[in-house]
Amino acid sequence: MTTVREAAPHPTVRTVPLRAGGGLLRHLPADAPMAWVHEGEGLVAWGEAARITLPAEDDPGGVARFGEAAAWLADLAARAEVHDAVDAPGTGPVAFGAFTFDPRSAGSVLVVPRVIVGSRDGRAWLTTIGDRAEAHPGEILSRVTPMRPVGPLTWSEGALEPKEWEAAVATAVARIRGGALAKAALARDTFADAERGIDARTLLARLVRAYPGCYTFSVDGMVGATPELLVRREGDRAASLVLAGTRPRGETQDDDDMLAADLLASTKDAEEHRYAVDSLREALEPLAEEVEIPDRPRLLQLANVQHLATPARATLLPGATTLDVVAALHPTAAVGGTPTPAAVELIREIEGMDRGRYAGPVGWIDAAGNGEWGIALRCAQITGSRARLFAGCGIVAGSDPETELAESEAKLRVMREALAD
């Protein structure tokens, strides 16, 4: 597969203020909606003004796809005629992106939409990107139809049956105990087939309602609600959130408190979390003047699970681009393992599947370099009437296969419920 680039030679970009109010998702038409929404704010978009689709790389540790995407976007921005009456992060030319977990997988993509609606800090705006200076793109008049229910589903297993995946976890534990590596994050997939095309907006609306504290996204068919912020960039400041170590939520308050206490006291989960924090620090330090990370994790409780969480902040060095930071941080120990090269090779050996863009960076970036990028977790790849769901767990020496399978089921529940009418 070769690099595919699509763009007008000299696009015209206009951003104008809108009256704030109303939900962002109400603007979206059904065809290929794009979104990044967190606690009611963010960006939604549709249409395509430009796209770059990147091929697989030969280098198992390669980051060329990030550099090529950044260069393409910078060239597009340099050729654009921009009229920005709002001048805030997320205005002007914006690209939505989803990158593959493994550089040896094809399909990383950046898409510059035709129409973008944004909302943040009580302000709202509309951006249009057209091929002619005197006209708005036709997509601005795209008809918004009612969101469709998903309908009946037929479920089927993915690459590995549950018992086969437990065996893969046992293999990983044996390799870890044998000293080959310290941690591996293993994932599994499952499929849901509907009777007609799945309306991504329906899933987005359900995810936004159920998980307002997560980053709900839709990029090129990859739809989900991730709790994991890889990087938020504004000016020279960057922020990230490490999540590693998980328990389900309890059926009662007492049960919930007991599970939370167990997570906070767990040596196994503390070890897994420490690997993820150390990985983040090591990746950020060459790009930053200063990195601030608390000594202890806190508890992050979501609707279905609770995690150990550590926020991090950094002041970036001059010249460090957003996609430089994304490339340096990916894959984190939370979705790859420690050490990363050995963990990624083990993943390729025993998972039995190509993750595609699952557990890869997903998010948006504007022409000034501002942006928000998460890790594509708690998600599904939607292709017509089929949804491919993913979930993964961090495996260390103390991992138990049955427990890890139960944790993966808890994580799959996010998208199972989003698909259920």
Task: Give catalytic residues, as residue numbers.
Answer: 183, 228
Contacts of 32 (CB under 8 A, 6+ apart): 46, 48, 220, 221
Phi-psi region of 90 (alpha: psi -120 to 50; beta: other; left: phi over 0): left
Whole-number Å distance between alpha carbons of 58 and 318: 30
Reduce the DSSP state of residue 263 to 3 states and report it. Answer: helix
What angle do helix axes 200-210 and 401-419 make, rounded to 10 degrees? 120
Residue 136, class by beta-carbon neighbours within 10 Å (0-12 exposed, 13-18 middle, 19+ buried)? middle
Distance of CA 363 to the CA centre of its chain: 6
CB of 41 closer than 8 Å to CB of 120: yes
Reduce the DSSP state of residue 244 to 3 states and report it. Answer: strand
Whole-number Å distance between alpha carbons of 283 and 322: 13
Distance of CA 322 to the CA centre of its chain: 15
Whole-number Å distance between alpha carbons of 60 and 68: 17
Residue 113, class by beta-carbon neighbours within 10 Å (0-12 exposed, 13-18 middle, 19+ buried)? buried
Structure tokens that stand for 364 in this block: 């948006």
Whole-number Å distance between alpha carbons of 178 and 160: 24
Task: Show the beta-strand stretches assigned E in 237-348.
Answer: 237-248, 288-292, 298-301, 305-316, 337-338
Reduce the DSSP state of residue 296 to 3 states and report it. Answer: coil
CB burial readout 10-45, b (16+ within 10 A) else e = ebbbbbeebeeeeebbebbbbebbbbbbbeebbbbb
- Determine which helix (DSSP H) or strand (DSSP E) holds 349, and give its type and residue range: helix 340-350
Beta-bridged to residue 362, according to DSSP, are: 98, 374
Contacts of 78 (CB under 8 A, 6+ apart): none
